[in-house]
């Protein structure tokens, strides 16, 4: 088990309180001690950040490795899935460098999100804890088809779509409950799925203790 001792000038604790001139002992993947007088075990690597502020990792619950916002969406639609996966791997490395240690990918195209997750887990790229939802579930024509949505109509078809995304490894399910400003043929404040369809999705997700997220506008 590897040991690491971080010396911090200021430490921001998870509840918002601050501690001055403390050390953090990390053993393996766990923080085992926080205090001013820590005697580390032998062979502990010491990193001195006594002139810095240390804080818990940031959580960003809404990112898109397929659509980063920096490139014209019309151009992104022409990218291959393979190119999107390579670009997505670069994006998650950037997120980690910015101090974001957990992200929720709120819908991607094809298997791109799962490829990025596997690349992180295999150590091929450095990335945060990555939670993909897979494809967004929409009604037929509810969103731009080039975004790669899983289209479903009626409660039974919604159940099918939810089961597909769970079977692919989705950490949660995203439903496009409305249209979107990013789709030229829908309105962002108009509801699309009916209540029975939403209930069917939530019921399927609960069977495997997966969260259901309702999305719209974007």
The CATH number of residue 12's host domain is 2.30.40.10
CB-neighbour burial class of residue 130 (10 A; exposed 0-12, middle 13-18, buried 19+): buried
Average pLDDT per block of 10 residues along the chain, 218 residues long: 85 85 86 84 87 88 82 77 90 92 91 94 94 91 76 94 92 84 67 90 85 56
CATH number at residue 161: 3.20.20.140
Co-location of 43 and 90 in the same domain = no
Instruction: Tell which residue, 112, 53, 114, 106, has the closest CA to residue 82.
Output: 112
- Max Cα distance, the chain (Å): 64
Which domain range does residue 23 map to?
A: 3-54
Co-location of 45 and 66 in the same domain = no
> What pLDDT score was predicted for residue 181?
65
DSSP structure string for 71-122: S-HHHHTTS-HHHHHHHHHHHHHHHHHTTEEEEEE---STTHHHHHHHHHHT
Co-location of 82 and 123 in the same domain = yes
> What pLDDT score was predicted for residue 217?
47
* Cα separations in angstroms, 75 against 79, 135, 203: 7, 20, 37
The DSSP letter of residue 21 is E
The DSSP letter of residue 142 is S
Co-location of 15 and 73 in the same domain = no
* Cα separations in angstroms, 19 against 31, 49, 50, 59: 16, 14, 12, 22
> What pLDDT score was predicted for residue 43?
86
Co-location of 36 and 65 in the same domain = no
């Amino acid at each position: 088990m590897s040991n690491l001792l971080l010396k911090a000038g200021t430490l921001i604790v998870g509840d918002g309180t601050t501690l001055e001139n403390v050390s953090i002992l990390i053993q393996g993947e766990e923080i085992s001690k926080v205090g001013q007088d820590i005697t580390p075990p032998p062979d502990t690597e010491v990193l001195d950040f006594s002139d810095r502020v240390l804080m818990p990792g940031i959580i960003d619950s809404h990112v898109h490795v397929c659509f980063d916002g920096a490139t014209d969406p019309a151009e992104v639609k022409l990218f291959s899935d393979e190119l999107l996966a390579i670009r997505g791997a670069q994006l998650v490395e950037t997120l980690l460098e910015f101090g974001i240690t957990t992200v929720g990918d709120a819908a991607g195209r094809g298997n791109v999100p799962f490829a990025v997750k596997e690349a992180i887990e295999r150590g091929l790229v450095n990335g945060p804890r990555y939670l993909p939802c897979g494809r967004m579930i929409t009604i037929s024509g509810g969103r731009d088809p080039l975004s790669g949505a899983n289209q479903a109509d009626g409660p039974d078809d919604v159940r099918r779509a939810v089961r597909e995304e769970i079977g692919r490894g989705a950490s949660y399910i995203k439903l496009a409950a409305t249209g979107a400003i990013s789709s030229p043929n829908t309105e962002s404040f108009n509801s699309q799925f009916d209540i029975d369809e939403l209930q069917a999705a939530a019921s399927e997700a609960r069977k495997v203790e997966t969260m259901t997220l309702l999305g719209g506008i974007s």
